Amino acid sequence: MRSLPYSFALALAAAAAGCSTTPAKPPPDLPPVAREPAPEPIPVVKADPVGPKLVAEADRLFTEASRSRAAGKPEDAADQYAAAIAIYEALAKIDSNPALPIRAANAREARGRAVAEAVEAARVKYREEFLASLPPAPFPDDSSLIRHFEELVARNPDDRASRRRLAALYLAAERYPEAAAALEVGADPEPVLELAQAALWYRLGRNDDAVKKLEEIRRRWRRALPPQILRPAFCLQPPKGFDKFTPAERAEFFPQQKVWIYFEAGNATCEPLEGGKWRVSLRCDYEILDEKGASVAWPEVKDFARDYDPAPYGTPVNDVCLQLGIVMPKAPRGKYTMVLRLTDKVEKKVSEHRMAFELK
């Protein structure tokens, strides 16, 4: 039996099976599947080191504590120092930075001072509150105080402070004789008490002693003042005495013209002499300067000494009048300055006055 061709045999088999021998068409292409985009890579963030932040926080606490302490809040300062200490010590255990133990030690020392101040403030506050709650103590009367200081002065007569207090208590109690007696014992340089002594003597009718005391005080106080050049004036005629002078209408003169200068010396020191008189010793010199400050007439020195009897005046003389006769320099026309100097020869004190004038 002859074999069937392969294609024919295949067609028979397909017919028997009810299938078509037409080659099958390939299935249509499926639509592409949409894919989600790949996520972007997450950046790796490195964490900041914690140590420097903690050190900065501890430093801030230390600074705030110092401010609290300066503001009078030691309790707050102690708490802030304690927090800074805790951070410094914790970091020092895990960090080899040598500055951390030093900062911790400084914070501990500062906290110790703050704690001491807080304790002292609490003690003072408690004491004030305690004293405020106590009833007021009775103040001793004047007689008790007087007896107390009388006993002190009797035990120590040289106790000047107790004697002053005793005299003041006598004055307050209007016991004027005892007050005067307390002030008379020993020389007390206190000016207020010296004035009180003079007033007491006047109150007790000791007028001569009161006036002498006042003059002594006045003389001593004036000696502390520098001499004064009062009422200086150019004169065309020589002055005739105290307040007896005619000032020139204008300070304009000719070269080599004769001119007088009148002035009064204030606060002149009077020295006591034998026989009850007093002496005033002064020195006067002058110099003439041109507009540039150059000297055109050299200083001329004149000494003045006069003895006074205080009886006509009632007191020692402290103000005297002086006059200087000068010849104007032979100098060009222009503006000049007269420099007048006064020296108290007793106290070695100097005063100066400048007078402007013009040469025609």
User: Is residue 37 situated within a structural domain?
Assistant: no
Domain housing 120: 50-129
Place of tokens 């200083």: 299
**Looking at residues 304-313, what average pLDDT do you find?**
68
Burial class (CB in 10 A: 0-12, 13-18, 19+), 201: buried
**Looking at residues 160-188, what average pLDDT do you find?**
82
Same domain, 259 and 332: yes
Q: Taking 50 as the threshold, does the pLDDT of residue 210 lie above it?
A: yes
User: Is residue 173 situated within a structural domain?
Assistant: yes
Q: Are 203 and 191 in contact (CB under 8 A)?
A: no
Close Cβ partners of 59 (under 8 Å, ≥ 6 residues apart): 84, 103
Q: 163, 189, 223 — which closes off a domain?
A: 223
Dist CA 318 CA 282 (whole Å): 12
User: Is residue 21 situated within a structural domain?
Assistant: no
Same domain, 75 and 108: yes
**Looking at residues 138-144, what average pLDDT do you find?**
74
Please tell me the chain's helix, strand, coil percentages from 3-state DSSP, rounded to the nearest 5.
Answer: 45, 20, 35
User: Is residue 178 situated within a structural domain?
Assistant: yes
User: Is residue 35 situated within a structural domain?
Assistant: no
For residue 179, what pLDDT is reported?
A: 86
**Of 314 and 167, which is predicted with more confidence?**
167
For the domain that residue 61 is a member of, what is the CATH number? 1.20.58
For residue 42, what pLDDT is reported?
A: 43
Q: 223, 246, 274 — which closes off a domain?
A: 223
- Here the contacts of 192-197 (C-beta below 8 Å, separation 24 or greater) are 193/164, 193/167, 196/167, 196/171
For residue 46, what pLDDT is reported?
A: 42
Residues β-bridged to residue 288: 297, 338
Same domain, 153 and 116: no
Q: Taking 90 as the threshold, does the pLDDT of residue 289 lie above it?
A: yes
Q: Are 107 and 55 in contact (CB under 8 A)?
A: no
Q: Are 288 and 337 in contact (CB under 8 A)?
A: yes
Same domain, 235 and 298: yes
Same domain, 233 and 355: yes
Same domain, 355 and 232: yes
For residue 311, what pLDDT is reported?
A: 61
For residue 14, what pLDDT is reported?
A: 44
For residue 6, what pLDDT is reported?
A: 44
For residue 32, what pLDDT is reported?
A: 58
Percent share of the chain, pLDDT over 70: 80
**Looking at residues 283-289, what average pLDDT do you find?**
90
Same domain, 348 and 294: yes
For residue 48, what pLDDT is reported?
A: 45
Same domain, 248 and 166: no
User: Is residue 9 situated within a structural domain?
Assistant: no
**Looking at residues 125-141, what average pLDDT do you find?**
74
For residue 13, what pLDDT is reported?
A: 44
Using 50, 70 and 90 to split pLDDT, how confident is the model at 28?
A: low
Q: What is the dihedral of CA 198, 204, 206, 212, to 10 degrees?
A: 0
Same domain, 238 and 343: yes
For residue 246, what pLDDT is reported?
A: 94
For residue 142, what pLDDT is reported?
A: 77
Using 50, 70 and 90 to split pLDDT, how confident is the model at 202?
A: confident
For the domain that residue 163 is a member of, what is the CATH number? 1.25.40.10
Dist CA 66 CA 73 (whole Å): 10
**Token code pair at residue 99:** 């500055």
Q: Taking 70 as the threshold, does the pLDDT of residue 263 lie above it?
A: yes
For residue 308, what pLDDT is reported?
A: 67
Using 50, 70 and 90 to split pLDDT, how confident is the model at 35?
A: low
**Of 133 and 174, which is predicted with more confidence?**
174
**Looking at residues 296-316, what average pLDDT do you find?**
69
Return the amino acid letter for 233: A
Q: Are 279 and 317 in contact (CB under 8 A)?
A: no
**DSSP per-residue string spanning 193-262:** HHHHHHHHHHHTT-HHHHHHHHHHHHHHHHHTSPPEEEEEEEESS---BTTB--B-SSSEE-TT-EEEEE
Q: Taking 80 as the threshold, does the pLDDT of residue 75 lie above it?
A: yes
**Looking at residues 73-83, what average pLDDT do you find?**
91
Could you give the C-alpha distances from 224 to 57, 66, 218, 227, 318, in angstroms and in order? Answer: 64, 51, 10, 9, 13
For residue 8, what pLDDT is reported?
A: 46
**Token code pair at residue 87:** 């951070």
User: Is residue 292 situated within a structural domain?
Assistant: yes
Q: Taking 80 as the threshold, does the pLDDT of residue 117 lie above it?
A: yes
Nearest in space to 201 (alpha carbons), one of 183, 221, 222, 215: 183
Q: Taking 70 as the threshold, does the pLDDT of residue 169 lie above it?
A: yes
Q: Taking 50 as the threshold, does the pLDDT of residue 129 lie above it?
A: yes
Same domain, 77 and 111: yes
Q: Taking 80 as the threshold, does the pLDDT of residue 334 lie above it?
A: yes
Residues β-bridged to residue 252: 358
pTM equals 0.48
Same domain, 285 and 181: no
Q: Taking 60 as the threshold, does the pLDDT of residue 284 lie above it?
A: yes
Same domain, 351 and 232: yes
Number of domains in the chain: 3
**Looking at residues 97-106, what average pLDDT do you find?**
87
User: Is residue 17 situated within a structural domain?
Assistant: no
Q: 190, 223, 256 — which closes off a domain?
A: 223
